Amino acid sequence: MCVDKAPDELTTFAALTEESWRMGLDWTIVFVAGLAGLTGRPLTHDDAEAPLQRMVDALRAGSHGSFIPCDRAGQPVMFE
């Protein structure tokens, strides 16, 4: 599952975790990435759809170097 959140839609990592629990999602690691806006404006949810899909595809292919993996407490996870 993936979700896009604008900075004003997400105040804390704990809020993201709580939202996922309300949706019934149980996870161990979340991969975080940021997307730049377009021509000085933030991305809309529709604008973010294709980049999000590319991110999901990259993770499925085992390429996670562009993302920040975090545990449930929001702490970065290091892969060795």
Query: Residue 16 has what pLDDT?
Result: 86
Residue 9 tokens read as: 């839609």
Kindly report, residue by residue over 49-80, the tens digit of the pLDDT.
998 999 999 999 999 888 999 999 999 999 87
Alpha-carbon distance of 7 to 42, in angstroms, equals 10
Residue of 10, 28, 29 whose CA lies nearest to 19: 10
List pLDDT tens digits, range 13-47: 898 888 888 888 888 999 988 888 888 888 888 98
Residue 59 CB partners (closer than 8 Å, separation 6+): 31, 67
- The reported pTM is 0.77
Residue 56 is predicted with a pLDDT of 92
pLDDT for residue 25: 83
